[in-house]
Structure 1
Amino acid sequence: MLGFNEPEFLSQLASAVALRPRIEELVDRLVDDGFDNLFLVGAGGTYAQMWPYEHLARRTSTLDVRAVIAAELVVSGDRRLGEKSVAIFTSVSGTTDDSLRAIEYCKARGVLTIGFTGYPESPIAEAVDVALISEPKTWPFDMQMLLFMGRLLSRRGEFDGYERFAAEFEGIPGILLEVARQAEPVAAAFAEAHKDTDYHFLIGGGNLWGFTYLYSMCILEEMQWLRTTRVHSAEFFHGSLELLEEDTSVIIFQGEDETRPLTDRAAAFAKRVSKDVTVFDTRDYPLEGISPEFRGLLAPLVLDTVMDRVSKHLERVRDHSLQLRRYYRVMDY
């Protein structure tokens, strides 16, 4: 597979899954001690990666869980943030400035701070109250967040079958390796067909809305300098549909939760207008060893793996490195 280091891929994912005992121990302590609310704090891609877990809590729990932008939290605050709050931060590098400032802001208000990163001596790992370390560059953080939220909801009596889910989840490195292998020809074909496309329209919903936002902004815009529009499938018919034309590249991310009909509706309309609609659907991937009732939870992980293959092939056909930046961490701002 193009630009794919299989041993590293498996090792990184396994390192995240191996955090299960520490995550469960932490969650059990939090529940036993008691807390009022949970803040999922991020910046850019790590903010978008929190949305599925706010969405999960909103659907299944009475606990106050909210995803917030680190920089906005610092300047606008939140009246519910206090000594009975818990805040989770994620950072691949452990150096994200906005998140560091948000950690300081939270700790000054007595909030218990938790950090997931791959570098034990990084500023974020050293700043939080509890640091849970995977291998360097491990991405995405959905493994850790699924285990954290699954255990939390289970302890609250809001997730039946967590132990079975967590046991099946141990196989996720191998499962996602097979996803990557299956996605490789699809990714190569998409990239070849779109090597000269300079604008993409992205649609997603439910627990894939965060990934839709992330892939649009953090990959196509930041890493490939392509123009995009991103819209939630439930909001598609309230304005953004007017941008569609016959040759508009429409990328649709389809998952397996209860919002699937909303995305199906948007896809059906898009296909009536555009001749260039691509649907990336998690149903296309077997996910051997995962029970049907848990598949929907894994949608962000599955599509992150699929679209990583697309990204590598876009990098190749467009001769535009995914590491190239003009402004991000290049200029002061």
Structure 2
Amino acid sequence: MDVVKVINSINEQTKNGISEVYLVACGGSLVDMYPSKYFLESEAQKIVTGMYTANEFVHALPKRLNKDSLVIVCSHGGNTPESVEASKTAKEHGAHTIGLTHNKEAALLQYSNHAFLYEWGEDSDVKNNPMAIILSLCVEVLKVVEGYEHYEAFQNGMGKVNGIISEGKKQVGPRTKAFADKYGSEELFYILSSGASYGHAYGFAICSLMEMQWLNAASIHSGEYFHGPFEVTDKETPFILMMNEGRTRALDERALKFLNQYAGKVEVVDAKELGIGTIAEEVVEFFNPILFYSILCEYREALATVRNHPLETRRYMGKVAY
């Protein structure tokens, strides 16, 4: 499916152009949508953006939802009941729906006006993964509806990011093993970041650590760290800080300065150090989370190996009624 054709087709079917974009999913798929929420809220002057966990979208449907609304729903397996119901609800209210899944037989596709079957796995190009596809869709919406002066810079960045990630993985290889050896027996982690990457701080906490490793974890926005959370900082509690390149880097640097003074266990993953700066400064901040996702996957794999806890192990998900 072609991003440009899909968005142009939807926009042509609206009365006044796409007026709202709702990003709807659960868990890791919802995390993949955060960069797009950040992008549209940052760059759009007229388009309204909403990001919802799917069950809340169904039970607390936004009253703005109308025939000029675009609802993007993502579900990896494509059969998450809440996400399927959200897409069905959106379609019943006349909104335009785009479904993203890895499963060509997904129930989600029944309620999607347009569908993207994305690539997944170690060998896939990240531009064909859901986070990048959803971001590309939202960039296209902005270009078509309002115009976007950095469109070409964004497209150039999308062409570069996979190579940056490949080199970044090589760079952090020894570091991830050292991290896992050092922190393999810890039971609690705090994850910090800002800007477009805050969603992945949340995602790494709830998916990689809580779901996949049964560890206690919480995300903290770098800007909010000094408004309560920093009181738990001590020499014994581990912090992981994802440092962005772009407008919100100052927030991450401020957090790092404090952590270096008062914390004893700090792991820094710096997008600048990993080479993200080869992407134009006008758009680089939107690519930080795409890089961080792939790099933090290396960290969680190393941690799972040291802890002898395979990432696929579950005790509740898909095993009991909920």
- By how many angstroms is 1:215 displaced? 0.2
Paired with 2:196 and 2:317, the residues of 1 have a C-alpha distance of: 27
1:53-202 alignment, distance < 5 Å = 53-62=36-45, 63-136=47-120, 140-202=129-191
Alpha-carbon distance in structure 2 between the residues aligned to 1:281 and 1:123: 39
What SS does the aligned partner of 2:51 have?
Answer: strand
Q: Give the direction of change, closer, same or farther, for the CA distance of 1:280–1:45 in structure 2 (3 Å limit).
A: same
Partner of 2:237: 248
- Alignment of 1:43 with 2:26, yes or no, is yes
**Which stretches in structure 2 are left out of the alignment for 5+ residues?**
none
Greater shift after overlay, 30-39 or 197-206? 30-39
In the TM superposition, residue 109 of structure 1 has moved relative to its aligned partner by: 0.9
Match of 1:316 among 297, 305, 310: 305
Could you tell me how far apart the structure 2 residues matched to 1:167 and 1:241 are? 38
- CA-based RMSD of the aligned residues comes to 1.9
Change (3 A) 1:207 1:122: same
Mapped to 2, the partners of 1:268 and 1:168 lie a distance apart of 30
Q: What are the Cα deviations for residues 56-86 of structure 1, in whole angstroms up to 9, with x where unaligned?
A: 1111112101111100111122111122211
CA contact (8 A) 1:119 1:125 kept: no
Structure 2: how far apart are the matches of 1:326 and 1:66? 32
Residue 63 of structure 2 aligns to a residue in which SS? coil
Give a deviation string over 1:289-326, Cα, whole Å, max 9, x none: 63343322210011111101101101110000100011
Tell me the CA shift for residue 103 of structure 1.
1.0
- CA spacing shift, 1:273–1:158, aligned 2, 3 Å: farther
1:288/1:238 Cα in 2 relative to 1: closer, same or farther (>3 Å)? Answer: closer
In structure 1, C-alpha distance between the alignment counterparts of 2:160 and 2:231, rounded to whole Å = 43
SS of match in other structure, 1:197? coil
CA distance in 2, matches of 1:181, 1:42: 32
CA distance in 2, matches of 1:98, 1:279: 35
Whether contact under 8 Å (1:74, 1:105) holds in the other structure is: yes
TM-score (norm 2): 0.91
- Residue 294 (structure 2) aligns with: 305
| Count of aligned pairs between the two proteins | 313
1:3-29 deviation digits (Å, cap 9, x = unpaired): xxxxxxxxxxxxxxxx5xx10111122
TM-score by length of 1: 0.88
Q: Partners of 1:295 and 1:217 in 2: how far apart?
A: 26
- In the alignment, does 2:12 pair up with 1:32? yes
Which of 194, 204, 209 aligns to 1:215? It is: 204
Runs of 4+ in 1 over 6 A off after TM superposition: none
What residue identity is the alignment partner of 1:57?
L
C-alpha displacement at 1:279, in angstroms? Answer: 1.3
Q: CA deviation at 1:99?
A: 0.4
Q: Residues 310 and 134 of structure 1: is their aligned pair in 2 closer, same or farther, counting only changes over 3 Å?
A: same
**Letter aligned with residue 42 of structure 1:** A
Q: Which runs of 5+ in 1 are unaligned?
A: 1-18
Tell me the SS of whatever aligns to 2:178: helix
Name 2:263's counterpart in structure 1: 274
Superposed CA deviations along residues 70-107 of structure 1, whole A, max 9, x for unmatched, are 00111122111122211001122112121011111111
> What is the DSSP-based 3-state SS (H/G/I as helix, E as strand, rest coil) of the residue aligned with 1:201?
strand
| Partner-residue secondary structure (3-state), 2:242 | strand
Distance 1:169 1:41, change over 3 A: same
Say which is worse superposed, 279-288 or 94-103, in terms of deviation: 279-288
In the TM superposition, what is the alpha-carbon distance from 1:251 to its structure 2 partner?
0.7
Report deviation, 1:287. Answer: 4.5
Identical-residue share of aligned pairs (%): 26
Query: Structure 2 CA distance, aligned partners of 1:232 and 1:288?
Result: 22
Q: What CA distance in whole angstroms lies between the structure 2 residues aligned with 1:133 and 1:309?
A: 25
1:229 and 2:213 equivalent? no
* Aligned residue identity for 1:26: V
How far apart, in 2, do the equivalents of 1:71 and 1:65 lie?
18
Q: 1:119 & 1:317 partners in 2: Cα distance?
A: 32
Q: Distance in 1 between matches of 2:160 and 2:260?
A: 36
